[in-house]
Structure 1
Amino acid sequence: MKLRRLHINSMPGVDDGYGVEFEDGLTVVEGPNEAGKSTLARAVRALLWPDTRAKGYVSVSAVFEDSEGLVSVEREGPRVRWTREGEEIAPPAIPDEHLAHSFFIGAEELIDIQALHGKDVAAAIRKQMAGGFDLEAVRELFPDPARSHPARKAVSAYQAADRKAREEEGRQEGIAHEAEQLEALQAKVRQGHGAIREARFVQAALRLTAKQGALEVQAALLAELPTELASLGTDALERLDQRLEEQEGKGQQKVKLVRDLERVQSDAAKCGLAQPVEARTLAILDDKASILRETQRKLEAATLNHAKSVSSHSNARQAVGGREGVDLDLGDGSEWFELLRQRAEVESECGATENLLKHLVQRGAAPELPREELEEGVRNLRLWLRAGLRSAPDTATGTDAFKKRCVGLAALSLVTAAVLFTLGLPYWALALGLGVGLVVPAAFLRSREAVGESGDLRARAQAEYPQSLDPPTAWEETIVQDCLNRLTQSLAEWLTFEEFERERSSLRNQLQGLEERAQQQDEERQELAQRIGADTDLPHAEMMTFARGLDRLAQAELALADAASESEQLQAQVDEQLANLGKALDAEGEAAPAEVPDAKPAVERLKQRSEALARARDAEERIGRDMARVQEDAQNIAGYIAQIYESAGLETGDRSGLAHLVNNSLPVYLEVSAKCRSLESSVAEAQGDLAGAPAEIARMAPEELEEHAVTLEARAETLEGLQQRAAQITERISFTMNADSQRELLAQRRDALEALSVCHDDGLDHLAGRFLMGRVTDRHKRDHEPLVLQNARKMFAKFTHQDYELEVARGGEGSFMARNNRRAVSLTPAQLSTGTRAQLLLAARLAFVETNQAKSPLPIFMDEALDHSDAERFSAIAASLGEVTQDGRQVIYLTNDATDAGLMERALVADGHPAPHRIDLGQVRGMGSQPMAATDLELAPIAVVPSPESMSSAEFGALIQVPALELTRGPAAQHVFYLLEDNLESLHTLLASHVDTVGQWQSVLRNDATLALKVQQGMSTAPTLEKRGLLLDAFCQAWVVGRGLPVSLEVLLGCGCLSDRWHEPLSAIAAGLDGNGTLFIEALRSKRDERSKGLQAKFIDELESSLQVSGHVTEAPMLDKDEVQRRVLLSDAAQGVDTQGVTGLVKRWWAHAQRGTSTNG
């Protein structure tokens, strides 16, 4: 149906109604933003698919034309009404609603990677192509030899073995040849050493001659200068000025010292002492004052203690005074109390011993397994393990370390057990058992060192293992070690049980002794109670209380007598010490203290006066010394100043004369004298170097010496290289005579070749299977390829000037793929540029709509769908849209850019289609804009390929700037110039159609039969262009042998041995090496590039093997021109083609490949 008229009364965003009329073919609706262009498409969609949920109220109407005439449709809100000539009819046949978006193509959905647009079309194509067979799955039953890990591994192993064998053969042949030259080399080395020795003498003679001449010149200059300059230095003026400043400073110091002396003498007179008190006397006085103060403190403490003793004695007497009729002896009370205390201690000790014995009895269960058999089992298991250790000497260090740890832990455990036993804690036995358990393996390890290496120890240990014990489940080191650990634990339990048993016996004996001691104490208590008159029937607690009271009373009486005696003695000492201190202070000129608190301050006052006098006397003495030193320094400075003038031959004070000598004459003298000394040293050194030189060298003139030195230097320059070469030859000869590596390498290569032969046979079978299934798959796709896929591929190829072709992604979930004909790789939409991705999906949409809706075609709305296309592709897409309208379909293109209408008109007219109908929606809605004709627009001109008339192929190639022939990139990437170098008119036809690579030409063969036929018919020489492309493919395959294909991201992705994180950084490294596979592998192994850090060596080996199988890394020799030509002539592409024509193409391509540069120089 064709849309003739559309009227919008009301829609969201449109308040004022407007109508538009449409014509056949392509209509461009242009207008500014907010003009309502997209609203036209939404209105048509709301009429055709009313179930589509539109936001807001919709009131629109339209007139369509079908095969029966005009038909009208109106929509008011949700109700839709179709009429023909005023009568209501049923809605016409319209595609289902899920296909509605196929007729409305917008820029947003074409560039949205995440959207599902295009997947429904791809799914429909896959459904049409399904023929009941999964040919891809059948093809995958034959593994690709290039991706087979065993094959890559076998190839890598053989190449490595072959390389080593050939290297060894070449090395031995080279060594044999070098051995013949060794004697001559050694003679040359001896000659070189002689030349070096003679050259050193010649150089010494040259130096001596030069230095002697220079020395004579400098000595003459030195003799002309004053001799007094020898004693002057460059700093004479500075030293003179410095001494003058020092002389003035010394005078100022002398004045200051006189004033300081007067002040110090005044301070000494104020002290009131004739001489300072000796430090020893002051120390004695201070000690006496301190002793006096300490004695006074003790007196005060003794007085307080006496008062307390009086109170304590009174309380103690009252505490025992309540017992009548008992004559108590205080001495017996102490003995009574001590006896009762010892009895209480015995009872407490008996209780603790009984509790510990009870605890040990509860933990005393004997182990189930016999001890003797456990010891025998442990000994045999350790013997078995020791036999394994003696077979591995490198474990000795670990055994020694383990033995040291066992001994250390055992000692620590035994010490811990001793501490716990001393403290009376119950866990000492466990620590003891652990220590004994650790001593056993240490002793075993020590004894193992003395065992000999002879005999089958393991077999003997298995045979002698006790039958009553469970043997290890398997005689392996880990299992045997576990069994040994279990038996060792059981044996440690036996040791613990025996230790517990000894401890229980000791505790029983100790408890029996305590009971006997308690009985003896009871008898002593009865006897003592009768002696002192105590009631033996009293409870033990009351008897203890009475005994304590008697003891405290006796102690109180003793303390009272001691306190009274101490107070009296201390008072007498205080009086005596205060009197003695007063006499000593008075003798030194200080008043005696009247009270004890005044003693210390008196001593301090005397000490301060003495120190002040001593400081004054010291200062007076120091000032005297300083004055003498200042006087002496002043005299020395005056003498030094006079010496400076005298050494210069000047009168004292003539500073201007001294300045003249220092500034003018002295620098010259110093420079000349320094040169003389240096030259004298050089002359002596040269004379020393000439010692032992031949007599003829000493007689040579300087000119003869120089000529002879050049000759000797030429001989000596080759010495180092000769020495290294002779040493290397000698070393290689010695190594070769002592080694037998060639036979081993040949055997390794033979084994690797046998393994490779097996993989080769399997690979041939798999290749044959894959080849046949590939042919079957291609034939199946060609025979069952649906029309929609053909149209989509042709459209996309035309949109992109044959740069890309459309493919359907494998699997049930993918959308379309784009095959890059220049690079021969397939890319997902996400890998394409925004414009190319939009053109891919646009071609699929248009082909789908065109193929499936041919009977009743609906208009196609395109809303700024070409915004992301450049001018050339825009023109190609516009021409394709013109072809779509030839079948009667309307295409309505919506845009806000008037340039689009001009580009569209120019492209359609140039392709022979009528100009598009233009609607200015801004003018329709009264927005004031005016339509612009194509002639009013400034459009960039379309590039035109120059004609090759009257040009040679080289001239035309330079004009169009043909790139170099890079065969490692494959035939698809090569310029078509190399196929049509002898048919420039056909070349011009392809270039005018934007086809400039072989891959694009192959796409033309599949998608544009008209252009392909035109090119083929325009060729004047055989073979055909299709055959030439196949021959170039065969030439590329032969050319890359021995050169290696370039390594790229696609190659690394296909290797299958790298994780995803390595693809990008490693492809960047390969790109920096121009894709050279050999250099790429070397860079990875050297770890020079930070981007390859962390890649393990095994993955590098696998990658190298994969690249070797795929031909990107190869050690095969490069084919020469004749071999390449032979292989091309034997290829399938050359069948049915004139041999002379094929040979001419091969020679031309070989010349271009050898040149390796573009034809434009």
Structure 2
Amino acid sequence: MKLVKLHIDTLPGIESGLSIDAIGLGTNLITGPNAIGKSSLIRSLRYLIGEPQSADPAALSLNAEFVDGDNRFVVRRLGRDITWQCNGEPTSRPSLPRPEQLHCYWLSMEDLLGAHSGDSYLLAELRRSMSGGCDLPALRSDPRFLVGSRVGYSEARNLREAQKQVQQIESSYEELRRNESRVPQLQEEIARCRQARKEQQQLERALQWLYCREQWQRVQSELAALPPHMERLRGDEWRRLESLRNKRRELHQQRGQAHGRVEHSRQQLLQTGLEQHQPSRTDLASRQREVQQLQHLMDQRREVNQQCDRLQAQRQAAVEALGGSGENPPCLSPHDVQRAQDLAGKHQQALHHCQQLEPLLAATPEPDPQEQQRCNQAANILRQWLASLTLPRTLPPAALVAAGGGLLAAVASLWFSLWIALVPAAVGTLGAMWAWWQVQQFHREQRRLQEHYQQTVDQKPSRWQRTEVQEHLQALELRIADLQHQQVRFQAAQDIAARLEAARTELAQLDAQCETFGSELNLDPRLTIGAQAHFAHLVESYQRAQQEYLAGETQRKRLEEEIAQVQSRISAYIIRWQAEADPAMEAPALQISLDDLATRLEQAQSAQREMETTWRDITRLDKEIQQLADEEGSVFTEVGLEPGQDQELQHRLDQLPRWRELQKDQIKWQSHETEQRVALEQYPRLVALVEADRRDELEKQREQAAQRASTLEQRQEELTTIQTRLAEAGRDGRLEQALAEVERYRTSLEERYQESQLARTAQLLLDGVEGEYRREHEPAVLRYARQRFQRFTHYHFDIELDDGGDIRARDVQYQASRSLTELSTATRMQLLLAMRLAWAQHLEQGQASLPLFLDEALTTSDEHRFTQVVQSLDQIVQEEQRQLFYLSARRHEVALWKRIAQEPPHHIDLAQLRFATVDDESLELVSVATEPLPTPEGQDAAAYAHTLGLPPVDLYQPLSTLHIFHLLRDDLWLLHHLMENWRIFSLGQLENLLYSSAVDAAISDPRKRQQLQNRCQTARAWMGAWRHGRGRPVNRTVLEDSGCISEKFMDGVAELAQSVDSDGMALIDGLRRGEVPRFRAKNIDELEQWLEENEYIAPQQEPLDVDERQRTVLQQVAAEVPMEELRQVVQWMEEVRPGV
């Protein structure tokens, strides 16, 4: 199936949508800067083709179109619903790889940096395919076929030790015969040495006495040069002085702060305005009582005013009740009263109708339609926000499990050195990162809804939590319902308002008629509704109200006069103390002014108290400062100095340790001098020389005596050794035992050698059987992956499975098997890329193929490997008719693909599709072609080797690193073809190519291929023969790697290794002979064992000469390699020398 169209309407990460309608059926190169959405294309296809997962985003709207032969498939996804159509008809999901297998088709940089968890299925399949009926591991583990790393080493070491022991015993017997005649002479020399030793000791004591005298005199002169009164110093004077000065500085600082407080208090006092005179609290209390009295009078006045107003209202009401505006009541006739009653009845009926309608017409404002729209929109946003909180329950536990598993795997790998456990650690880390990314998607959607909500309405929840948002949503829904109800009430009120308006119009007409009637008769006709007694009662009420009103006016005037007097007294008091006051101020304002005066009085008194307290503190601080100054002066006077001589005091304190040391030295040297004098009193000659300071004479005599006595211990030890060996010679049978040990160890070494040869031969046979079996029964997926990986790495690496069935890369040059963590980043990516491509091809058996997506998969490859991988991918597209998508942020890779691929790839620029921006074509980089290797035109083998600049040959390095020039001296054009076109330079790469499926394309002649296989086999056999009996060279680097030599002895041991031509065995012999002084025997044994284990010391065997090497090679490969070919290769190899 090939993708022809892709439309993204809604996808986290591509909010504005994306449509790609022009997609090539072959190679598609998609470019664009980072974060443009390249990886989102892979995610969109995963969501479309894979099964819906619980962790998938909820907001998805995607569709894509595929072609498969004559069929056209369309797949759409909306949310969690996925539908398929084939040629316009609904259909089920085609036969495609399972979701857990899609990672083989869609490869990103992260997938190629480490083994993916999905590769476990591939490894299981490979293990099942590689298992056969033969139990080769059991045969390999047979004790008869096991070759230990130190086989024969212990026997060879024991043989060497036994041979050395024989030589040492024979040498010791010969030396013993020579030393027996020297016993009398040694005895005489020992006696002379003892006498000289005694004289030397006396002279040593005399020199020691003289040295003590000189030292005592030196101490005396140094003491005299020091300042006087040093004995008065205690050593802590400077510390005491600094402490006193620090305290005095602190007191000065406190004194300054106290002055600041005094100034602050003075400013506070000035601000009160009471710095000169202050009111007494008694007068202030009296004035406050007068304010209370004033308040009482004002309360009485307010009550009287209220009473007068009420009486005035009653009087006016009585006049108005009579329907007039004057003081005289109106005069009425019976006819007028009847007219007034009729008019009042109509008026009462109209007023009653209005009163019935008015309660029904409440204040019902028209609701705002825009507010209704905003509330509805805000409620919808809150519902979406609450829906976005539905985070899959399995995502946080899955993230914790992945992170915890990764952490446990990483700890296990570091603790137990199980580096393969880093793979699940990396997988767990990637899983945790993916889960974290999913959580971030939910959080970004929530933040978008929050910002939209804040733009819609002014109010927002107190916190964006589920409970607060739900409460806010309920409040919005109640507000929406209230607005709807208000709309209904507003429409009903419109009808009632019309009816009320008509009733009020009628009432107004009746009021006008009543006014006209009242103006005619000076009587309100509405009063006639009651009885005539009521009319009389109204006249009486008017007269009573008039009398009470006049009495209230009299009392109000009296209270006004009393209030004015009290206000005047209080205002005058307040103005006296610098405050503004109005004689007409009310009691509360006067109370506020008095309270302010009381506050200022309290502040003034508090400021005065603070100033008095601070001045007392200043006086105390002055006394303490003076006391500290006196103590500081006493520090100087105690040591004999004047106050202020800081430099002199510091100088004397600096000299104090030296003075104390000189005092101790004076006592010490005086005591030693007395002790030496007493010891030499019986030797007057020596006493005279000491007192005369004749050091030269004493030293001369001491050297002479020491020279005579220097050989005492040597002579004594020599005499004791000779006497002991003479007593034991011939009775211990050491020589016979040593000869027997030599013969026994030589026999044991021969047995070990035969056993090792048998085991090595068996292992070689098992290697051949296993290799042949794997080549014949190798799974297609592994074979396809090996071919790709070999091409990617120029046959420098191959793929193999270890005993545990895990993928490893084999370095064909150094014959080293490397795990994924031991490979470089580029090589590891290329291995995983080859495995994924092989696995994808394996999965498609019986299923529809899918496009391959590579996201920055070749970013870290060099240009040569990039070219090889692109050619391989192009070959896949051309031969397998597969669709390929390569995603890259580097636009210059377009030029690389166009130069390398057979057909230019279809270029899709996401920046142009999404934002209508076009990258500057001038930014495209042009690949510079690699300079070709020189051809062998007109050159012989030696000249061509010089032209190529071949590296020196090191026969101690693995044979796989040998340059193929040494196997193709007779076919230089084939040599050039392999190096230039296939990047084959070493024997290991050549062997890897010869056993790969690409060998037909590289070397078309089958006879030449067989010839090269024979030459490789012959070269390996010759190398094994040449290394027989030879240890690897030992240099300083090897010695440092051994870890058996400390830095102190490293230079000496390295020089010894260089002097013996880097021979490991000769180095050990030199160390045992003591050529590196004080190098312990234990370290020598450890170094020898390490050199043997690492093949720097060969077993006790002689190296093979040229004829022996040729015979060995014939025995090993003559049955398979023609004799003429074999002799030619052996001759070429014999011409190879280290450094040539």
TM-score (norm 2): 0.46
TM-score of the two chains, using structure 1 as the length reference: 0.45
